[in-house]
Amino acid sequence: MSEPQDPLRSLFHEAAEAGRDGVVTAPAGEIAARGRRARRRRVVAVVSVVCLAFGGGAATTVALLSRTPAPVGPAGPPPPARPSPDRQPAPVATAPGSTSASTPESTVSASAPPGSTDTPSAPPKTTATAPSSDAPRETATEPP
């Protein structure tokens, strides 16, 4: 079955034949040069992105490291230690005539004479010595 002759269709065929006759294949050197240019553009783009990222990171690092730290105030006394729930808190000694509980620091300053640098020591514990044949049996006691 033959197709009916369409004038528009025949015009398209004539234009396609004319286009095919005018096409010339590019030489291999020109095609290689196009490839080198495209590769060069890609390398430049990648290097530019890497340089921008490195520069941004370096600038951020310099900005963070060049800031002066916030000033720290003077050191104060340590906060009071909180007793553990397993143990009962130890009673705190108070100076004579004092109405409030004192800290260990105030106990030291209240019990030591002015100008004294000695720190109070713990009283000796009561101990018993073993009896010997030479010495009589003695028991040490706490000082009053």
Q: How far apart are CA 31 and CA 29, in angstroms?
A: 5
Angle among Cα 47, 48, 52 to the nearest 5 degrees reads 115
**Per-residue pLDDT tens digits for 75-117:** 888 878 887 777 665 666 666 665 555 455 544 445 555 555 5
Closest CA to 109 of 138, 39, 98: 98
Q: For position 121, what pLDDT does the model report?
A: 58
Q: Cα–Cα distance between 43 and 123 in angstroms, integer?
A: 83
Spell out the domain ranges in the chain: 43-68
* pLDDT given for residue 30 in this prediction: 94
What DSSP letter does each residue of 47-108 carry, written as one string? HHHHHHHHHHHHHHHHHHHHSPPPPPPPP-PPPPPPPPTTSPPPPPP--TT--S---HHHHH
Per-residue pLDDT of the chain (144 residues; tens, 9 = 90+): 466 678 888 899 989 988 888 788 889 999 999 999 999 999 999 999 999 999 999 999 999 998 887 888 888 888 788 877 776 656 666 666 655 554 555 444 455 555 555 555 555 565 555 555 555 555 556 565
pTM of the model: 0.35
